[in-house]
């Protein structure tokens, strides 16, 4: 079995300027920092994408996935 490496990921939401309203003025964290063992950064990106809450699935162009290896 391949040896896993430690990664962390988080998912951010950056609303478009024209769509911002009083409740949604700035970017926000929609999936807080998560630590995982994985074989590659690509695998972690897939895990993070699967963690995106369903209410944001129609706004994927405004989503940023951050991955940090150790």
Q: How confident is the model at residue 21, as a pLDDT? A: 56
Threshold 0.75, pTM exceeds: yes
DSSP class per residue in 14-61: ---GGG--SS--S-EEEEEEEEEEES-HHHHHHHHHHTS-GGGGGGGG
Q: How confident is the model at residue 24, as a pLDDT? A: 57
Range of the domain at 25: 5-69
Q: How confident is the model at residue 1, as a pLDDT? A: 53
Q: How confident is the model at residue 70, as a pLDDT? A: 87
Q: How confident is the model at residue 19, as a pLDDT? A: 54
Domain count, the chain: 1
In tens, the pLDDT along 14-54 reads 998 765 555 557 899 999 999 999 999 999 999 999 999 99
């Amino acid at each position: 079995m391949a040896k896993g490496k430690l990664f962390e990921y988080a998912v951010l939401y950056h609303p478009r300027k024209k769509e911002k309203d009083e409740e949604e003025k700035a970017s926000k964290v929609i999936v807080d920092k998560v630590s995982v063992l994985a074989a590659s950064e690509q695998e972690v990106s897939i895990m993070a994408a699967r963690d995106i809450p369903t209410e944001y699935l129609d706004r994927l162009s405004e989503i940023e996935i951050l991955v940090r290896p150790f």
